[in-house]
Structure formats: structure tokens, C-alpha cells
A = this chain, B = another copy of it.
Amino acid sequence: MSIVLLARDLGLSISTVSRALNGYEDVSPATRERIFKRARELGYKPNPGARRLKSGRSSMCGVILPSAGDGVRFVDSVYSSLLGGVEAELENGGYSLIATMQTRNDPVREAALYENFIKGGWVDALLIVRTRVNDTRVALARKHHIPFVTYGRTETTEPYAWVDTDNEKAFYLATMRQIEFGHRRVALLNGPLEFYFARLREKGYTKALAKHKIPSDPLLMLNGDLSEVSGFAMCRQLLALPAPPTAIVCATDAMAIGALAACRERGIEVGKNISIVGYGNSSHSAFADPPLTTIDHAVFENGRHIGQSLLRLLRGDAKPADIHYLEPVVLVPRKSDGPCTK
């Protein structure tokens, strides 16, 4: 089924059919109606390749999902909700979202993948997730003049469109809560510092410490990947310290759950003898033992904002410099934290 066949069937010219379908004004309402009806009947769908070829628009936004290689968790479950939100918004604007995966973490291959994605012309706009402090991807997108919004911020002099959760505030809140519980040795289990979110979380953490004139202790600031395994290992390390922390704030719920297990192993009662808070309000955090105090940050909502931002950019309603959205966070108190007993 092509537009040619459809036009022939209707006894109209190709151009009239095309213009009707694309909402131009110079088609009479009666004809337009007739065209739409028949198009639906015959199940006509414009060939996106041809459309892209001629008009330069594909009606698709793209995202490349990061991986952690073989077997390891491939897409953070956070992205699931995020992309759901993005898609839900884009849909309203007649766009859709396609994702492709990055199987390896090699920066050269990553660049090639993005180059391919952009130059190939599959997508009209890009979503860049898991931003790094120095992110070559935003330079690349800019170079190719493709609209983009980042989820997470980055270090750059030029303006760019971003949506982010308030990582700094989140860790300021979490750390503050620990301090107000009377804790003085508060540890931070953070992600790799190459990611901007990790920097911001560290910043929020140190700010809270500074506010209460507590010197920050490098021994208590650890970086690992965001998994349970890593949280478990780092917490073990902390507990073996001559002066172990009495409280821990973790970069993910997964890490916190790893930490919970490490404490259990040592017979330390979490919520009483040690105070732990996670981040993300993941689905299993409420069912951990003890239920995890954590920070909730409307990921789906964030996705919606990204979707809207992409649409505004694509329609020319806004410049990148106009698009900055910081999603608020809220602490969800449960049972894994509590007053300092030492």
C-alpha cells in the first residue's frame, strides 16, 4: 500500500493525497474526509524511509541505553520508568521513541554508535542519559546540530537542555537527617565520580557535613558501581574500619540492600546500631529487612518532562537555554535509619 495506489484508488493526484494527510489547508474538507477514510480502510501507512528521505524528518527521538557488559544488569530499571514517561509525552506530539543498546563501555565504540545514530538520520532528536562530567556525547550532538536533551547535567560552557533530579538536595537531605539523628561518622557509598550525578550527590553530602562543621573523612567516602554486590563489599570495608561509621547514605537502593546484608552478616542491627538510607525508592526497598528509608524521585515524571522538552525543541518553541528542569525529591522514612546510639 503506497500513496500512489491510494491516490489512484481515490481518483486523485498523489500530491493532493499527501497534502491532505499532512494537514495542509488547500484541500477541501470533503476531499480531505474522503482521503482519510479511504486511507484508514486500506491501512495506508506512509513509508518512514521515504518520508525521512524527502522531508528530513523521521518523527522519532532516539536514546542509547548504557550497559555494563556481559550478564551484568544491562538497563538500570530506572530507565524503564523514565522512558515510559518520555514515550507517553512524545506520543501526544506525534513522535515516538526508539532505543538502541550499547553493548560495550568502550568510549570509541560509544562515539561511533552515536555518530551512526545521528548521521544515519534515524532520529530527529536525541536523549542523552547518564551524563558524565565531561561528556563527549553532548559535543557530538551539538556538532551535528541535532536537538537533544540530557537526563542529568554535565560540564560545558555552552547552554544545553537538561532535565535532572535534584541529586544534591537529595543527599543533603539524607545526610542532614543522619546528622540530626546525632550521627557524626556518616559514610557515603557513591557511584563512579565520572558521572555528574555522583559529583552532585557528593556535594550535597559534604554540604550537610559542612553545615554542622563536621570534617569530611575520605575513608568514609567510597565509590563503586551501583549494584548490591558493590554495596555489600564497600559496607564490609567500612565496618572493618577502626572507627566505623554509625550511618551510611547510599547512591542506590541496590547498594543499600547490599549494605544491609553486610550488616546482617556482622550481626549489626540496622536501624538501631547503624543507620542506613538508600536512594531511588525502588520496588524492593519497601520489602527489605528492615524496610529501607530512601529517597523518592518521580522518575516517570522526569520522563514526561524530557518528552515535553524534546517536543518544544523540535517545534522550535524553545531554545536549549530555556530548558532546565530540576525534579524535586522527597525522603521516604522507613525503618533502616534511626538515632545514633554510640
Q: A-side interface residues toward B, CB under 8 Å?
A: 1, 43, 45, 47-53, 58, 67, 70-77, 79-81, 83-84, 87-88, 91, 96-101, 103, 115-116, 119-122, 227-229, 232, 254, 257-258, 260-261, 264, 283-284, 286-289, 291, 300
Q: Nearest chain B CB to A270's CB is how many angstroms away?
A: 10
- Cross-chain contact of A74 among B45, B73, B80, B264 (Cβ < 8 A): B80
| Set of chain B residues within 8 Å of A288, measured between Cβ atoms | 289
| Among A75, A84, A122, A254, residue most surrounded by chain B Cβ atoms (within 10 Å) | A84
- Cross-chain contact of A53 among B53, B232, B300 (Cβ < 8 A): B53
Q: Are A73 and B77 in contact (CB under 8 A)?
A: yes
| Set of chain B residues within 8 Å of A79, measured between Cβ atoms | 75
Q: Could you say how many copies of this chain the assembly holds?
A: 2
Given A48-B122, A80-B73, A289-B261 in contact, is the A100-B101 Cβ separation under 8 Å? no
| Set of chain B residues within 8 Å of A84, measured between Cβ atoms | 67, 70, 74, 101, 103
Q: How far is the CA of A283 from the CA of B76 in the complex (A)?
A: 12
Q: List 26 A-B contacts (CB under 8 A).
A: A43-B115, A43-B119, A47-B53, A48-B122, A49-B53, A49-B58, A49-B121, A70-B88, A70-B300, A71-B300, A72-B81, A74-B83, A74-B300, A75-B75, A75-B77, A75-B83, A84-B101, A96-B100, A98-B100, A228-B287, A232-B287, A260-B287, A260-B289, A261-B287, A261-B289, A288-B289
Q: Nearest chain B CB to A35's CB is how many angstroms away?
A: 18
Given A228-B283, A229-B283, A283-B254 in contact, is the A45-B80 Cβ separation under 8 Å? no
